[in-house]
Amino acid sequence: MTYAEKILVATTVLLLAACSSTPEPLNMTLVATDIAYDADNISAAVGQTVNIEYVNNGALEHNFIIDEFGIDNLLQSGESSTISFTPDQAGTYEYYCNVAGHLEAGMKGTVTVSE
């Protein structure tokens, strides 16, 4: 193999690695209380799996909804569950609680997905 061929092979391998790499998963905890989430923004990248350990530390029931990803997760007081999704498009997506009055009280946030 000539030097030029070796460079070509090395470049091709690097390009393939760059194209096939997927971002590391984002693992986080989101805590609901009466009446708020403990984070109002989640930043992720296209193709990055987001794993949320969702915990309800409030006395009331609290939902976690993202319409675009089909997520609708109602927790009773003291419950927790794991929510996972992988955005495939950049954009901003609202999450919110739809228990009566909670969205109006500010129980919402934004998932910001970048390329």
Nearest to 88 by CA among 49, 51, 40: 49
Size of the site for Cu ion (CB under 5 A): 5
Q: Does 97 bind Cu ion (CB under 5 A)?
A: yes
Q: Are 49 and 26 in contact (CB under 8 A)?
A: yes
- State the nearest-atom distance from the C-beta of 37 to Cu ion, in Å: 9
The answer to whether residues 48 and 27 touch, using CB atoms and an 8 Å cutoff, is no
In the bound complex, what is the minimum distance in angstroms from residue 61's beta carbon to Cu ion? 7
> At residue 14, what is the residue type?
L
Site for Cu ion in 57-76 (CB under 5 A): 62
Q: Does 55 bind Cu ion (CB under 5 A)?
A: no
Q: Minimum CB separation from Cu ion for residue 104, in Å?
A: 11
Closest CA to 27 of 74, 83, 73: 83
| Dihedral Cα 43, 45, 48, 54, nearest 10 deg | 20
Measured from the CB atom, the residue of 111 and 113 that comes closer to Cu ion is 111
Least CB distance to Cu ion at residue 30 (A): 12
Footprint of Cu ion on this chain (CB under 5 A)? 62, 97, 99, 102, 107
